[in-house]
Structure 1
């Protein structure tokens, strides 16, 4: 089983990573961890260091990646991230997605969109969201 785990450094995203690590152990799954950004900088590198440190404490092997998309600086970037996740699922032949969900509420979702909502609504792959 191949599981895609998008991370953004938020608390819920890191809880999703912890859940995914446990999931991988239980079901002998492979984890593909990805972070989407419009510009790779110090914050991105710090997040990747944090993710790698978390993986170093486990027996799970994964090589987290950074996907740069310059269009993420636009309005409703989370919808674009959701579509990027769906594309990665299709290209990487993933069986499951585990991701955090901020629970921004109606107004936040209307203004910003929701990557998790976009992925769930696609129906292309089972999704576990972690608050």
Structure 2
């Protein structure tokens, strides 16, 4: 089983990473971690460092990836969801584990949700962690 865990720096995305790492270990799967950003910066370094600490604690030997193939300065969640789906299709992941912020109705209407976009696309099984 090949599992993708996108992380955005939020606590829920790192809870999802812990769950994904445990799932990969339990099912003898592989785990890829990706963070989408316009460019690498101190912020992306902080996300990668935190992801590495979670992976080390779980005993998972993989390197988090920063995907900078995005061109928009302000990235709506819906766009990130599309990027995740593109990555799933390109690399053939079997499962996605994602955090969800639990945004209110108004916030979801304005910004969308990457997790909801991936979940509703029904292209791959998705586990959503609050």
TM-score clears 0.5: yes
Residue in 2 that maps onto 1:13: 13
Q: Quick check: 2:32–2:64 contact (8 Å CA) kept in 1?
A: yes
The number of residue pairs the alignment matches comes to 129
Deviation at 1:59?
2.4
Instruction: After TM superposition, give the deviation of residue 60 of structure 1 in Å.
Output: 1.4
- How far has the Cα of 1:35 moved from its partner? 0.3
C-alpha distance 107-22 of structure 1, shift in aligned 2 (>3 A): same
1:71 Cα deviation (Å)?
A: 1.4
Q: Which residue number corresponds to residue 91 of structure 1?
A: 90
RMSD over aligned Cα, in angstroms?
Answer: 1.1
Distance 1:22 1:58 in 2: 7
1:56-103 per-residue CA deviation (whole Å, 9 max, x = no partner) reads 2232121210011121515xx110100000000001110000000011
**SS class of match (2:8):** coil
For 2:46, the equivalent position in structure 1 comes to 46
CA distance in 1 between partners of 2:40 and 2:10 (Å): 17
Question: TM-score, with normalisation over the residues of structure 2?
Answer: 0.94
